[in-house]
């Protein structure tokens, strides 16, 4: 009897862990998950173009774990990874990126939504949907 209840407990725990496992491993968010996302283009003291992103993740249980930047030819894609929050992390996004001279487009998330282009500058600010 005790073995059956223990087995049932572990099975239920396994199902629950598999359902929320993506949160422990981290998930990439999109623009609609940050409010408002403010994007500002600046020039630093070395005369380099930089892009500053700031905002707050909608879900208060999630915290920003890391920001990844992927380059594909002349495009940079910013991926923000969130995880279940802890005591030392918050849902606040504060990120600064130096724009390489060959980059003509900066996008956000897996959907590659445009944030900035060399031709038009910042394409959103603040982003509220």
pLDDT at 66 over 50: yes
Average pLDDT over residues 7-15: 44
Average pLDDT over residues 80-101: 91
The parent domain of residue 96 ranges over 23-122
Global pTM? 0.77
Burial tier of 34 (Cβ tally within 10 Å: 0-12, 13-18, 19+): buried
Rounded Cα–Cα distance for residues 22 and 85 (Å): 13
Structural domains in the chain (count): 1
8 Å CB contact between 49 and 76: no
Burial tier of 76 (Cβ tally within 10 Å: 0-12, 13-18, 19+): buried
**Cis previous bond, 126, omega within 30:** yes
The confidence score (pLDDT) of residue 14 equals: 41
Residue 107 inside a domain? The answer is yes
Residue 128 inside a domain? The answer is no
Residue 77 inside a domain? The answer is yes
Residue 4 inside a domain? The answer is no
> Which one has a higher pLDDT value, 1 or 14?
1
Average pLDDT over residues 63-74: 96
């Amino acid at each position: 009897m005790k073995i059956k209840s223990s087995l049932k407990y572990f099975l239920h725990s396994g199902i629950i862990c598999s359902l929320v496992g993506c949160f422990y491993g981290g998930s990439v968010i999109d623009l609609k998950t940050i409010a408002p996302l403010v994007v500002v283009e600046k020039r630093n003291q070395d005369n380099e173009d930089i892009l500053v992103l700031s905002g707050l993740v909608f879900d208060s249980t999630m915290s920003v774990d890391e920001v990844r930047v992927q380059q594909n030819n002349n495009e940079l894609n910013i991926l923000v990874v969130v995880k279940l929050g802890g005591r030392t992390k918050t849902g606040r996004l504060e990120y600064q990126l130096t724009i390489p001279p060959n980059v003509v487009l900066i996008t956000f998330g897996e959907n590659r939504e445009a944030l900035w282009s060399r031709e038009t500058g910042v394409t959103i600010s603040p982003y509220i949907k």
